[in-house]
Chain A
């Protein structure tokens, strides 16, 4: 395959970026999108140019590091996949492909296609955990009976890899789906109920402070999420939030 790439290049967070056009030849349809970018960078290095920076790590859809907005969609065309799981057979020979970083005020560009998603880390630190005493006499988790449906829903929410596709694809750059998944994975389980009120209040507060937009229920996040996190989680978080806001003493 021969392709025209329009890649966002930006020297650093302060520099003004632009789309730069590159031609790339003999790309295998069986190669992954990131392997195609590796080819591009190899060409750039051979030409003595600066390679395009992009995030990646596991390259098997688990780590949530890859974060590209490809041809107008987070993680490119296709559903329930991350950028690293996208293959070149999804494109046509001769096609022009736009490659941009995830855009959000809360995700500032560091360089080229790499954005700073530490806002998600700070939201997690605000309450996305369960305080467990690990002194050596930890209770066996199976001693707490949990309905299968609740366990499944909690697990589904916990599959969120925090890639930020929900923010990137939302017209408001809202992080509600991410925060809702992190709230839900605990809210559904008895272990998470102890800190439930404080968790949802603090995580939502941190989300607002980071500058993410508001959810207007377009549902785009659910469609583009590589893990299929459901909007049910946002409704659950809204219930948790209203309940905590009314009854919490903080």
Chain B
């Protein structure tokens, strides 16, 4: 039954025949409404068909994680292998490397990258000159619109041994000889995290700025009467007022811990920094598409999705207990 409509609670009907006829009538009414709005239905169903093809067929395709799929046979013909692909991944030498890199990059991003836009929004809000505030906003949103490919091009240029970063560090005497920073796994996490902050700091602050703009002016007025200075207002009025926004974004950030920024890492990684740049998404891409191990890579991706979903639910639950706000 594809028609699901919330009906108001009706008084209980004792007579079974009468009940049947009301059901029939209701169905007739729905059918009539449906036919009356055939244009509208076609418009909506086109979207449903699109979602069926591009969202639901791939979900069905997840079953190849439990099979041994190869190009020559269709998905349904491929033999079942149970949890073999998952076991293989857990025993693979890459498992720990991939896990370490994914969690390492994401957790540092969470602890540094998450609070920074909040601090930036708070500071931006304290600017007394409206003109300056507007200009800073416009400039800080700009890098969000630069593609990772172009930023990757800038970074490879800057971090190369003849690049500007080497010039600066040499000039300051911090290094004694030129190195290519992207060729050294020890630098990779820092490069990924800093470039991500550079690109998204301003853009991520938009939501907080809007939340701050929504704080009632009366709260500030009454705290002025109570003799609060600006820092106290920031701490005791602004921050608590935007706490629900922070909470929801935090839940989303936690559930995204296994999502590395694929676009970013794909362009910055190379064979020399592989031990630090191989994250789950890159591993899926390499094993699945470059080595054509479709079933294995699907299993890795599925495992990741399941853990991410559990993380979302638990973060939601914990935060709900702690301060009452939650995503759902």
Q: Do A and B originate from a single complex?
A: no
